[in-house]
Structure 1
Amino acid sequence: MKYSTQVYNKAEKEMNRRRVTAQDTAQHHLDAFYAACPEAQDLRWRIASTASRAARAALRGAPAHKMIESLKEENLSLQKQFNDLLAAHNLTRADIEPQYTCKKCEDTGYIDGHMCSCYRTLLQQIAYENLNSISPLTLSSFEDFSLKYYSDVSVDGKRSDRETMRIIFDYCRHYADTFNSNSGNLFFTGATGLGKTHLSLAIAAEAIKKGFGVVYGNAITFAVALERERFAQSEDSNGDTLSLLNTCELLIMDDLGVEASSNYVTSTIYSVIDTRIITKKPTIISSNLSLQELEKRYGARLASRMVGFYDRMVFCGKDVRMQRKLNSRIDTPHS
């Protein structure tokens, strides 16, 4: 799973904070113990000395067997004396030794060169928080998506808006519940305020819970980042936006079509969509534009890709966000 440089840097800082905090806390307690009981510090030095002498003796092989056994007995005796002093001061080994958040990797993030599960969990958590912070809503869920704002009136024998949206909701719920690296692509289209972003974020939340790396953003954010990194001369620029868009396990591109148009951004967006189709990486795209309008904006090649490789869902109804605002005003008591 690949995350942005920002996510890795933030995770590394957190792992370092955990490790240093555990070590500093233990050292503080140990220093206080030595100050109250100087004898304990002398015992600690003698314990270290016997361990070192035993290690050197072991290198000599069989002739040093008796010496090693004697040093072991001496070491155990010293350890007992040290523990007795701890107990006399109402302390245990845990009080003077680092209590790492993860005992497996001791908050280094790695075990024998392999990433520890605690580090993977932290990366997912940070990605989740980042997703929440950049989204135009709080991180949405399926549970807080309401169909009551969609009309249940059927016109000319056609499905009502509510029934259409129920079908879309159920499809998205199933997509999220069964999400995996082989899941298909979704294209949400329809007017603003109908729930496209809400359901996109609900799917993202479920995918992250399953441990998948999700990149979410609106087309404007991606376009600005791509343009900036294209011309950036500074070493501070991560320059990883394009790589993330191409390689993340789930890409959610919101509001396609509202970004400022340029030949570079248009060709890059097409390239990302095409690359992810070729590599079979799931993508969710939402737009206020119809397929015909997308074709006019980006060209026939992109529209053809959307028709051939995306499940299209046409959101309908009246602006839900506006209805919620109106309802909240009505429900608010006036003084």
Structure 2
Amino acid sequence: MGYEAIVLRRAARRLEDRRKERAAAQARREAEIYARLPRVAEIDRELKKTVFQIIAASLREGRDPTPSIQVIKDRNLSLQAERTRLLLDNGYGADALDGQPVCPHCNDTGWVGARMCTCLKQLCAQEQIRELSKLLDLGEQSFETFSMDYYSDQPWPGEALSPRENMEFIFDMCSNYARKFGRFKVRNLFLSGPPGLGKTFLSACIARSVSEKGFSVVYDTAVNIFARFEEQKFARDRQDVEEARDETKRYLGCDLLILDDLGSELTTPFVQSALYTLVNARLMANQQTVISSNLSMEQVRQRYTPQIASRLEGEYRVLPFYGEDIRLQRKKDL
């Protein structure tokens, strides 16, 4: 489990900016207090000197430094008490000059030992959602805002469940998949059905929820993904090749890949090979994938190789969407 390098860099940069802003604010507060209360400035200068006095006393030869150190400590405590009294009497907090970090757990470093602190994880999650939003609309899309209103409770031809009953099952499956990501019995999902039935919306809900839990999530369309694989193999410009290689590493290495609109790409022998590599590599690495497609599983068998179809049927939970196109329903309501 981990974030992509670009996400971690952006989050770390924000943490550093926040640390600089806090330091600048602390410097302004200190200047204000010192200008208003010159005695506090004098006390702080004297307190800094006591550190060197203690060190000098402890290094002095030929005598026990303990009495000298105790005198200095007593003087230090007296100065601190005077400083606190001056701050409180003039409307400041006792810790107004102490520069408390925003996060007391890591002192705004982002790390507690070798473990990433919660504050940096939160920034990483925000940056990852921002990255996902470049291709996937994550505005108000969440499981909490999903509506069943556009799914009929009337029987649907050829199906045992009504569109609403079917969608209630799909919604429960997707929400549990996201909520229990990595622990849920189902590892991979194949969202199948005509356009306008909520596949992309639920993909966005899964992406948001899993990302917020600290997992790396990559979303992209089938057309873009296979174009990147093709660039990596055939591009002549070195920079284009390296960029394509970085992208394909993201697809292969992330905790969750959401591949949208499978079947919209031109199905060449190269694309067949790239899809097999992608699906098989992620299965072998025990990494999870969500695929959405307008194709039924029967159409998948007709369009792709038997090896691809076998892995999708055997290793993915197929969730068939059906009902009336939500976009068309909304258009009628206008």
Fold shared by both chains (TM-score > 0.5): yes
Mapping of residues 34-73 of structure 1, within 5 Å: 34-58=34-58, 63-73=64-74
Mapping of residues 15-94 of structure 1, within 5 Å: 15-58=15-58, 63-94=64-95
- Note the C-alpha offset of 1:170: 3.2
- Note the C-alpha offset of 1:305: 1.0
Counterpart contact for 1:192–1:319, Cα < 8 Å:
yes
Aligned to 1:332: none
Change in 2 beyond 3 A, CA 1:70/1:127 = same
Mapping of residues 112-151 of structure 1, within 5 Å: 112-136=113-137, 138-151=139-152
1:211 and 1:200 map into 2 onto residues whose CA distance is 17
2:136 and 2:143 map into 1 onto residues whose CA distance is 16
Q: Which amino acid aligns with 1:179?
A: F
**Paired residue secondary structure (2:211):** helix
2:271 and 2:313 map into 1 onto residues whose CA distance is 21
**Paired residue secondary structure (1:326):** helix
Q: Which amino acid aligns with 1:203?
A: I
Whether 1:168 and 2:170 are equivalent positions in the alignment is: yes
Q: Which amino acid aligns with 2:247?
A: T
2:68 and 2:308 map into 1 onto residues whose CA distance is 78
- Note the C-alpha offset of 1:189: 1.2
C-alpha RMSD of matched pairs (Å): 3.1
Aligned to 1:188: 191
**Paired residue secondary structure (1:2):** coil
Whether 1:279 and 2:285 are equivalent positions in the alignment is: yes
1:87 and 1:302 map into 2 onto residues whose CA distance is 72
Counterpart contact for 2:2–2:214, Cα < 8 Å:
no
Mapping of residues 179-218 of structure 1, within 5 Å: 179-181=181-183, 183-218=186-221
**Paired residue secondary structure (2:143):** coil
- Note the C-alpha offset of 1:157: 7.8
1:234 and 1:93 map into 2 onto residues whose CA distance is 56
Aligned to 2:109: 108
Aligned residues: 328
Counterpart contact for 2:151–2:323, Cα < 8 Å:
yes
Change in 2 beyond 3 A, CA 1:323/1:160 = same
Change in 2 beyond 3 A, CA 1:22/1:136 = closer
1:64 and 1:276 map into 2 onto residues whose CA distance is 67
Q: TM-score, normalised by structure 1?
A: 0.84
2:54 and 2:270 map into 1 onto residues whose CA distance is 68
Change in 2 beyond 3 A, CA 1:139/1:294 = farther
**Paired residue secondary structure (2:274):** helix
**Paired residue secondary structure (2:52):** helix
- Note the C-alpha offset of 1:295: 4.5
- Select the residue among 294, 299, 310 that pairs with 2:300: 294
2:266 and 2:48 map into 1 onto residues whose CA distance is 67
1:296 and 1:59 map into 2 onto residues whose CA distance is 85
| Gaps in structure 1 of 5+ consecutive residues | 330-335
Change in 2 beyond 3 A, CA 1:68/1:297 = farther
2:24 and 2:149 map into 1 onto residues whose CA distance is 55
- Select the residue among 274, 293, 297 that pairs with 1:268: 274
Whether 1:13 and 2:13 are equivalent positions in the alignment is: yes
- Note the C-alpha offset of 1:245: 2.1
Change in 2 beyond 3 A, CA 1:258/1:37 = same
- Note the C-alpha offset of 1:263: 5.9
| Gaps in structure 2 of 5+ consecutive residues | none
The Cα offsets for residues 66-105 of structure 1, whole Å up to 9 and x where unpaired, read as: 2221221121122223333333433234333324321222
Whether 1:251 and 2:252 are equivalent positions in the alignment is: no
Q: Which amino acid aligns with 1:14?
A: R
Counterpart contact for 1:26–1:98, Cα < 8 Å:
yes
Q: Which amino acid aligns with 1:9?
A: R
Counterpart contact for 2:15–2:110, Cα < 8 Å:
yes
Q: Which amino acid aligns with 2:210?
A: A
Q: TM-score, normalised by structure 2?
A: 0.84
Change in 2 beyond 3 A, CA 1:214/1:85 = same
- Note the C-alpha offset of 1:120: 1.5
